[in-house]
């Protein structure tokens, strides 16, 4: 019950663009939920490109994170695949469009990795939030640039300033379970509303209870 990866096979080589950052990468990753954080969410899911509405300032916020030395890993629950409503290719088209629109706003707003969980909520997958599996997988794929064949749940990495940003309690819980700072991003404001907090390494984040279910 592994996660899906936007750009192909989960364990294929991962091409990472250079960060627009003067220093060396210190291991910091911004793990970002998608719906309600980068784009407007919907109780009926985002089913087509036409339904995708990128939140104001999302592109600039992603660009700012990368300019301050963060890699970007989107981690999103996408159970419509498991429910049989649509397939991986349809999700790929939505993510292609999301990336394109973010880059239109800010040339540095590159999403280094997009992971998604196609699993049903009751399936008990480690790789569906609130479980931390997608964060664990994202870390190991970015560190190795895809040069691994499986994930080690006991692997320990230097997380530096890493953070999880989400609009739901399951997002913050996944971040806390993984052991990194977790920030609540209100659905109508998105990533732009908390990016300065993420960049402040002294900000320890929010309690899980601060976000809605």
pLDDT at 31: 98
Range of the domain at 91: 4-12+20-210
pLDDT at 155: 86
pLDDT at 67: 98
3-state secondary structure of 77: strand
pLDDT at 156: 87
pLDDT at 1: 85
Positions marked catalytic: 33, 35
Mean pLDDT by 10 residues, the chain (213 residues): 93 96 96 98 95 98 98 97 92 98 98 97 95 98 95 90 98 98 96 98 97 92
pTM above 0.95, yes or no: yes
Assign residue 92 the CATH number of its domain: 3.40.50.1000
**How is residue 95 written in tokens?**
């993510």
Specify the number of domains making up the chain.
1
């Amino acid at each position: 019950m592994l996660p899906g990866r936007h750009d192909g096979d989960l364990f294929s080589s991962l091409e990472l663009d250079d960060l627009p950052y003067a220093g060396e990468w210190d291991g910091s990753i911004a793990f970002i939920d998608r719906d309600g954080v980068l784009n407007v969410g919907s109780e009926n899911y985002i089913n087509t490109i036409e339904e995708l509405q990128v939140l104001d300032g999302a592109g600039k916020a992603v660009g700012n994170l990368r300019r301050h030395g963060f890699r970007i890993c989107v981690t999103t629950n996408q159970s419509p695949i498991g429910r049989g409503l649509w397939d991986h290719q349809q999700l790929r088209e939505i993510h292609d469009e999301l990336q394109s629109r973010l880059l239109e706003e800010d040339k540095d707003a590159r999403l280094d990795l997009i992971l998604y969980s196609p699993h049903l909520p009751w399936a008990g997958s480690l790789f569906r939030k609130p479980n931390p599996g997608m964060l664990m997988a994202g870390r190991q794929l970015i560190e190795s640039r895809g040069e691994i064949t499986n994930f080690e749940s006991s692997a320990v990495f230097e997380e530096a300033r890493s953070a999880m940003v989400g609009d739901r309690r399951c997002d913050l819980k996944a971040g806390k379970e993984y052991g990194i700072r977790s920030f609540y991003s209100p659905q109508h404001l998105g990533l732009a509303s908390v990016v300065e907090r993420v960049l402040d390494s002294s900000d320890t984040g929010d309690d899980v209870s601060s976000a809605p279910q």
